[in-house]
Amino acid sequence: MTSTAPDRDQRDLGVQPLDTLMNELVIDNHELVEASTEQLTHKQVQKARKGRRLTKNIQMKVKNAIEKALLARGEERSFVLTDLFNYRA
């Protein structure tokens, strides 16, 4: 019988900088999903915030959505993936 603990350690990477940023900017998961034009789901945002390893494609959707959410508030900001995630896809 094999253990899944090593797999879990590689997938769960702890709370990400994205979570801190969203808390500071007072952006909730729903606002991010609504801002997205790329079919971003609430589940994907939750996984992104809590440190579940995501593909680069999903990371880009999250990055684009947070930029669009801020733009809707009248604040133009650009992020790189390392601003939001502390691992590489």
| pLDDT tens-place values along the chain, 89 residues long | 555 555 555 778 899 999 999 999 999 999 999 999 999 999 999 999 999 999 999 999 999 999 999 999 999 999 999 999 998 76
**In 3-state terms, what secondary structure has residue 53?**
coil
Q: What share of the chain is helix, strand, coil (3-state, %, to 5)?
A: 60, 0, 40
pLDDT at 89: 66
**What whole-number distance in Å separates Cα of residue 49 and Cα of residue 40?**
13
CA distance 30 to 37: 13
Amino acid at 20: T
Give domain limits for the chain: 5-84
pLDDT of residue 47: 96
Q: Are 35 and 73 in contact (CB under 8 A)?
A: no
Q: Is the pTM of this model over 0.75?
A: yes
pLDDT for res 13: 83
Cβ pair 5, 28 in contact under 8 A: no
